[in-house]
Amino acid sequence: MIPSEIQTNTTDQQDEILRRRREGRRRRRQRRAQRRREQRAIEQAQRQRRHQRETQREQQRQQQRDQLREQQRRLNPRGRSQQRTHERYQRWLQRLQQQEQQPNRQPTNYHPRIVIPGDYDYYSGEDDQENLLEAYEWEIMTTQQRLDQIQIMEFEGFAALEQLLLIQDEREQSQQIREMQAFDEERQQEFNRFHNCDQQRLLDYEENRNTLLDEPNDADQQQLHQIDMLERYDIERQRQAELHNNWDQTRLNEYL
Q: What is the pLDDT of residues 142-194, one digit of tens each?
A: 777 777 777 776 666 666 666 677 777 777 777 878 887 887 788 778 777 77
45 pLDDT more than 60: yes
Determine, yes or no, domain membership for 246: yes
| Residue-number span of the structural domain to which 64 is assigned | 3-78+143-255
Is residue 236, in this structure, part of any structural domain at all? yes
Number of domains forming the structure of the chain: 1
Most confident of 34-43, 65-74, 149-158: 34-43
The pLDDT of residue 118 is: 43
Q: Single out the residue of 155, 158, 134 nearest to residue 76, CA to CA.
A: 134
Cα separation values, 187 from 39, 96, 175, 203, 213, Å: 10, 74, 18, 24, 39
**Is residue 95 one of the residues assigned to a domain?**
no
At 220 the pLDDT is 59
- Name the percent of the chain lying above pLDDT 70: 54
Length of the chain: 256
* 112 assigned to some structural domain: no
Report pLDDT for 137.
Answer: 73
Task: Give the pLDDT of residue 128.
Answer: 60
Domain assignment of residue 113, yes or no? no
Across 108-115, average pLDDT = 43
pLDDT band at 80 (very low <50, low <70, confident <90, very high): very low
Does residue 90 sit within a domain?
no
Query: Is residue 87 pLDDT above 80, yes or no?
Result: no
Asked if the structure places residue 87 within a domain, the reply is no
Residue 177 lies in a domain: yes
Q: Is the pLDDT of residue 116 over 70?
A: no
Who has greater pLDDT, 219 or 69? 69
